[in-house]
Amino acid sequence: MSERRARPASPDAKKSGWRRALTPPQSPAEPEPEPPVEPEPEPPSIVQAALYRDGVRVSTPATLAETYRELREQPAGMAWIGLARPTESELHSLAAEFDLHPLAVEDAMEAHQRPKLERYGDTLFVVLRAARYLDAQEEVDFGELHVFVGHDFVITVRHGAAPDLSAVRRRMEETPELLRLGPEAVLYAILDSVVDGYVPVVAGVQNDVDEIETEVFRGDPKVSRRIYELSREMVEFQRATRPLVGMLHSLMAGFAKYGTDEELQRYLRDVADHVTHTSERVDGFRQALTDILTVNATLVTQQQNAEMRALAEAGFEQNEEIKKISSWAAILFAPTLVGTIYGMNFDRMPELHWVLGYPFAIVLMAVVCTSLYVIFKRKDWL
């Protein structure tokens, strides 16, 4: 490490780029007398490694050790090392070689860090939250990227599927005049790639919000869950985009102090504009979802009130029918009662041999039934 640090730094040391990971094929294990069942080898953490000189790739090391050795041999070279979910030993090796701060290395080992930008001496440490929209699931998937930027190296540590930096490497290698500007240009390209990745996410979320609005007014019972899930994704999206605004302004504030190239300053300002626009859109989505959730709750309450009113009206109509049935049952019960009493056929019974007994019974039935009818009619039961 001291040997590499001893060589003088030149302006050409500020350059970078990347490409798809090139990892060497692993040689098969030698056969044993009794061949055991060998476990599947773990995928390599190094997904991309390259050395650049004057904006052009000069070497593609296969291992970290080769990268260190070849970088020491290059008087004005720059190394780009890309890692995906690296092991602690790999990160400790990088920390020892490039003098990375222990706190930054500790953050790189653990995912779920908030986006931030910190300087540790001559090394810049950046944490980014990338996002991609999954059309099949209609949800947003977030990844995490940690970037170490020094005077002659760029190290990326990726947690998650996003972002895919192979396209960024191709873009930088196709524009050596930009890659010649050094590690800061690589950092710009990574920032630009992450921010550009937000565009399809914003479009997908906008489509989801439009669909949710339609479902709300259509009365879909599952829409509340979808609103809640999308709102949670927007909270994560806000956590990914809001800090970027301050981070890019911090970078722009250091243009004069660190002598950033004017062309690179323009690029970074453009990225800052895009981040601000995306952050505002995300804030708008969250507010829109809050309003939609309120409207949905109102519509659900109105629907429940309508259902309760319909049940009350049905109960009222049922009660009216019961009143009518009860009234007619009472009216019919009166002659039945009189007829039952006079039909008991006892020998000694008052009015049994009375000449007017039959007319009296008929008149009594009629009077009772008429009286009951009049009473129920006045009570509006009939």
Would you place residue 45 in the very low, low, confident or very high pLDDT band (cuts 50, 70, 90)? low
Q: Element (H or E) spanning 335, and its range?
A: helix 262-342
Residue-wise pLDDT for 245-258, tens only, equals: 888 888 888 777 77
What are the counts of helices (DSSP H) followed by strands (DSSP E) for the chain? 11, 7
Residue 35 predicted with pLDDT over 70: no
Would you place residue 114 in the very low, low, confident or very high pLDDT band (cuts 50, 70, 90)? confident
Structural contact between residues 74 and 52, judged by C-beta atoms closer than 8 angstroms: no
- Retrieve residue 17's tokens: 């780029």
Taking CA atoms, 91 is separated from 45, 173, 326, in Å, by 10, 26, 88
Q: In 147-261, which ranges are continuous DSSP H helix?
A: 166-174, 176-179, 183-218, 223-253, 255-258
Residue-wise pLDDT for 289-322, tens only, equals: 888 888 888 888 887 788 888 888 888 888 878 8
**pTM of the complete model:** 0.68
